[in-house]
């Protein structure tokens, strides 16, 4: 579609590009690999992710947006430009309007950098938008009403919790505790409890397959390979979902506490709306088994995960341009 609206979710773990009329056309990890000697970029996205932890000395693979802060600004700029070109192609009739959702915690200077990079990549208009607003629109919430809604977006590096009303954020917080921390906690648990050293990717696999934030009705297990820290040799052990519950307890309760603190600061009328309408979860981290149940149990408020939690922010970001223009569009 020529001159169409584009929304980009510049996440700490994944970048997604949404094009109006086409949907999400690109989803790649926010990873860049470059040569330390020449400072040249070797790979971006999925290709670069495969290099994480496996690169020879002179090549380094980094996540420039780790923990919701742009640690490397030029790299982010190049990554953004690459993804825009990859999803839109170069020869365009009319330049698109692009809105970009940046992780909360990003500074004004960094926001400006993202804006400039987006213009340079060929946008005719650029809007930088707040994550909770994008997540809410993407989750199908009508944000234009004077009614409180609570959104909890759990990404890779940050969890963003906000109560929004009338298109704006009323109360919010962002904590640097999210999906990546679940993985770290599993690595630590395996070391402490089983003397087993596992990599981050194995930890993520455990989290996705059997990880639990709440007791499962039936225990599930998984065989995990790692290095025995005593003998130094490879070893396989069977891990249960109950063990992950134990491993993740501290991290999940930090998220619950943050939700609680936002509820405490929410004006009473809006808090009443939230308890009527429930809490909505988005982001890849919200796919952890039992998070809904845990938050619901601890707050007493109905909690549900958005239908497409991984793409909600990208879709919402794309639709925000229309919201800004004051148009209504339900596609």
Could you list the residues known to form a binding site for ATP, using ranges.
Answer: 12-14, 156-158, 204-207, 284-287
Binding mask 140-179 for Mg ion (x = CB under 5 A): ---------------x------------------------
Binding mask 263-302 for ligand ADP (x = CB under 6 A): --------------------xxx-xx--------------
Q: Answer with the entry of Mg ion, ligand ADP, none that 45 interacts with (C-beta below 5 to 8 A by kind).
A: none
**Token digits of residue 286:** 């919200």
Shortest distance in whole angstroms from residue 313 CB to Mg ion:
5
The answer to whether 69 contacts ligand ADP (rule: CB under 6 A) is no
Q: What is the DSSP letter of 103?
A: P
Which residues in 81-99 are b (16+ Cβ under 10 Å) and which e? bbbbeebbeeeeeeebbbb
How far apart (Å, rounded) are the C-alpha atoms in residues 68 and 104? 6
The answer to whether 64 contacts Mg ion (rule: CB under 5 A) is no
CB 167 within 8 A of CB 25: no
The answer to whether 208 contacts ligand ADP (rule: CB under 6 A) is yes
Segment 263-322, which members bind Mg ion (CB under 5 A)?
Answer: 313
Question: Sheet harboring 279-282: ordered strands across?
Answer: 168-175, 159-165, 149-154, 279-282, 303-305
The answer to whether 138 contacts Mg ion (rule: CB under 5 A) is no
Binding mask 230-249 for ligand ADP (x = CB under 6 A): --------------------
Which residues, in sequence order, are CB contacts of 101 under 8 Å at separation 6+? Answer: 7, 8, 9, 10, 128, 129, 130, 131, 134, 313, 314, 316, 317
CB 64 within 8 A of CB 78: no
Cβ closest to ligand ADP, residue 55 vs residue 67: 67
How far apart (Å, rounded) are the C-alpha atoms in residues 27 and 315? 12
SS3 255: helix
Pick from 6, 7, 8, 12 the residue near ligand ADP by CB under 6 A. Answer: 12
Shortest distance in whole angstroms from residue 209 CB to ligand ADP:
8
Note the residues at the interface with ligand ADP (CB under 6 A). Answer: 11-14, 155-157, 179-180, 204, 207-208, 211, 283-285, 287-288, 310
Note the residues at the interface with Mg ion (CB under 5 A). Answer: 11, 155, 313
């Amino acid at each position: 579609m020529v001159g169409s609206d584009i929304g980009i979710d510049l996440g700490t773990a994944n970048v997604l590009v949404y094009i109006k009329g086409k949907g999400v056309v690109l989803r790649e990890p926010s990873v860049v690999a470059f040569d330390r000697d020449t400072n040249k970029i070797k790979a971006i996205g999925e290709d670069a992710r495969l290099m994480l932890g496996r690169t020879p000395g002179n090549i380094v693979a980094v996540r420039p947006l780790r923990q919701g802060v742009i640690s490397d600004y030029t790299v982010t700029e190049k990554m953004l430009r690459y993804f825009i070109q990859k999803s839109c192609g170069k020869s365009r009739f009319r330049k698109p309007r692009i809105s970009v959702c940046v992780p909360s915690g990003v500074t004004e200077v960094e926001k400006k950098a993202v804006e400039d990079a987006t213009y340079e990549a060929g946008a005719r208009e650029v809007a930088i938008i707040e994550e909770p607003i994008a997540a809410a629109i993407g989750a199908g919430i009508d944000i234009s009403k004077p009614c409180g809604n609570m959104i909890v977006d759990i990404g890779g590096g940050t969890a963003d919790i906000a109560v929004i009303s009338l298109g704006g954020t009323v109360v919010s917080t962002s904590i640097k505790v999210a999906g990546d921390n679940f993985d770290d906690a599993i690595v630590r648990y395996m070391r402490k409890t089983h003397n087993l050293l596992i990599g981050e990717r194995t930890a993520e696999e455990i989290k996705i397959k059997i990880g639990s934030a709440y007791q499962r009705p039936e225990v599930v297990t998984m065989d995990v390979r790692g290095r025995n820290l005593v003998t130094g040799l490879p070893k396989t052990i069977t891990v249960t979902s109950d063990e992950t519950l134990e491993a993740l307890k501290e991290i999940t309760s930090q998220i619950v506490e943050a939700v609680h603190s936002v509820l405490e600061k929410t004006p009473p009328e809006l808090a009443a709306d939230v308890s009527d309408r429930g809490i909505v979860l988005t982001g890849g981290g919200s796919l952890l088994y039992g998070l809904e149940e845990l938050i619901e149990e601890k707050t007493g408020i109905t909690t549900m995960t958005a239908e497409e939690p991984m793409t909600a922010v990208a879709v919402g970001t794309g639709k925000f341009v229309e919201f800004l223009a004051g148009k209504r569009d339900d596609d």
